[in-house]
């Protein structure tokens, strides 16, 4: 059994396509097809169920993939450690980031990282959907919110605080809320979350405990950045992670209210496929993220 054939099978099993697996491995689709065929011949079982439209896994293929995946991850990690011993971290990193967080916080800090590690190349995807790190070949993802138990490696970065704010013109016309209950008399602009299918609740802290508040207003927007723009134009009050609006608050373009009721935001974490945490280029980028979010209210 050749290790290369095993790697080809796992790649096809993850992406469901010979051509996509070939692209990721840097070989031809024909080479991948022949490698999988050799593996199946050696094992004496059919691992993939092929059709004209798609490639799926047989029951034996699913079991074999699940056993091979951690073995390959360990081998790749060992190879990377040997190749990088005594050298500066180098190579390509595929990174998945939430849209607003990437634009407002992480990408702006990348000149510092790249100056430290000029031999690392970053492929960054920004989106707010759940990403299958293994199937999509992602090395590092940053996720917002609690995560269910999984085989992924998780490192908590902290809980960036929320800010509730609006423009000075809005407050001049409608008044400043002094309590959470006062929000009932205001335009509260909500964020509609597509993959959840509802408007996200606002959160406040009262009498030592957190409480949810359902925003009610004439507008809902599916992007936090859009909410920030709407608030700047006087359309109402918003609640977003503070890093999205901190520059506008500092410049006086937005006014933060209800500070005494402000809670910590949703947990922020960096997520890795198993076996990647000790790869030098991965490790230094995780350390960079930990440093970048060191001022979060609650951090591990």
Q: Which domains does the chain have, with CATH numbers?
A: 3-84 (1.10.10.10), 91-157+270-292 (3.40.190.10), 162-261 (3.40.190.10)
Question: Of residues 268 and 67, which shows the higher confidence score?
Answer: 268
Question: Of residues 255 and 151, which shows the higher confidence score?
Answer: 255
Instruction: Indicate the pTM of the whole model.
Output: 0.66
Q: Which residues contact 66 (CB under 8 A, 6 or more apart)?
A: none
Question: Of residues 190 and 145, which shows the higher confidence score?
Answer: 190
Can you tell me the distance from the alpha carbon of 4 to that of 22, in angstroms, rounded to the nearest whole number?
12
pLDDT at 202: 94
3-state secondary structure the chain: CCHHHHHHHHHHHHHCCHHHHHHHHCCCHHHHHHHHHHHHHHHCCCCEEECCCCEEECHHHHHHHHHHHHHHHHHHHHHHHHHHCCCCCCEEEEEEECHHHHHHHHHHHHHHHHHHCCCEEEEEEECCCCCCCCCCCCCEEEEECCCCCCCCEEEEEECCEEEEEECHHHHHHHCCCCCHHHHHHCCECEEEECCCCEECCEEEEECCEEEEECCCCCCEECCHHHHHHHHHCCCCEEEEEHHHHHHHHHCCCCEEECHHHCCECCCEEEEECCCCCCCHHHHHHHHHHHHHCCCCCCCC
The pair phi, psi for residue 250, each rounded to 5°, is -60, -35
Can you tell me the distance from the alpha carbon of 190 to that of 222, in angstroms, rounded to the nearest whole number?
8
Q: pLDDT band for 196, please (50, 70, 90 cuts).
A: low
pLDDT at 299: 38
Q: pLDDT band for 224, please (50, 70, 90 cuts).
A: confident
Give the alpha-carbon dihedral of 177, 182, 185, 189, to 10 degrees: 70
Q: Which of 141-145, 146-150, 160-164, 183-187 has the highest mean pLDDT?
A: 183-187
Angle formed by the axes of helices 18-25 and 29-43, to 10°?
A: 110
Is residue 194 predicted with pLDDT exceeding 90?
Answer: no
Q: pLDDT band for 8, please (50, 70, 90 cuts).
A: confident
Question: Of residues 190 and 79, which shows the higher confidence score?
Answer: 190
Q: pLDDT band for 206, please (50, 70, 90 cuts).
A: confident
Share of the chain above pLDDT 70, in %: 90
């Amino acid at each position: 059994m050749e290790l290369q054939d095993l790697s080809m099978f796992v790649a096809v099993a993850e992406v469901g396509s010979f051509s996509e697996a070939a692209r990721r491995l840097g070989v031809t689709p024909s080479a991948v097809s022949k490698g999988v065929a050799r593996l199946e011949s050696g094992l004496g079982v059919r691992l993939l169920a092929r059709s004209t439209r798609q490639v799926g896994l047989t029951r034996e293929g699913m079991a074999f993939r699940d056993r091979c995946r951690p073995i390959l991850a360990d081998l790749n990690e060992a190879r990377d450690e040997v190749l990088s011993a005594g050298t500066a971290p180098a190579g390509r990193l595929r990174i998945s980031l939430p849209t607003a967080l990437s634009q407002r916080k992480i990408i702006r800090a990348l000149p510092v990282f790249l100056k430290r590690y000029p031999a690392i190349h970053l492929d960054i995807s920004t989106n707010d959907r759940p990403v299958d790190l293994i199937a999509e070949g992602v090395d590092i993802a940053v996720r917002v919110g609690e995560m269910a138990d999984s085989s992924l490696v998780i490192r908590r970065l902290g809980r960036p605080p929320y800010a509730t704010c609006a423009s000075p013109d809005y407050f001049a016309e409608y008044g400043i809320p002094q309590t959470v209950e006062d929000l009932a008399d205001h335009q509260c602009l909500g964020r509609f979350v597509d993959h959840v299918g509802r408007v996200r609740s606002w959160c406040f802290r009262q009498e030592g405990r957190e409480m949810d508040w359902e925003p009610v207003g004439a507008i809902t927007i599916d992007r936090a950045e859009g909410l920030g723009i709407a608030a700047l134009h006087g359309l109402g009050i918003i609640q977003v992670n503070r890093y999205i609006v901190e520059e506008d608050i500092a410049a006086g373009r937005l006014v933060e209210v209800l500070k005494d009721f402000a809670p910590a935001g949703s947990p922020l974490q960096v997520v890795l496929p198993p076996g990647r945490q000790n790869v030098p280029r991965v490790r230094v980028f995780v350390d960079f993220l930990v440093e970048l979010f060191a001022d979060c209210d609650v951090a591990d």
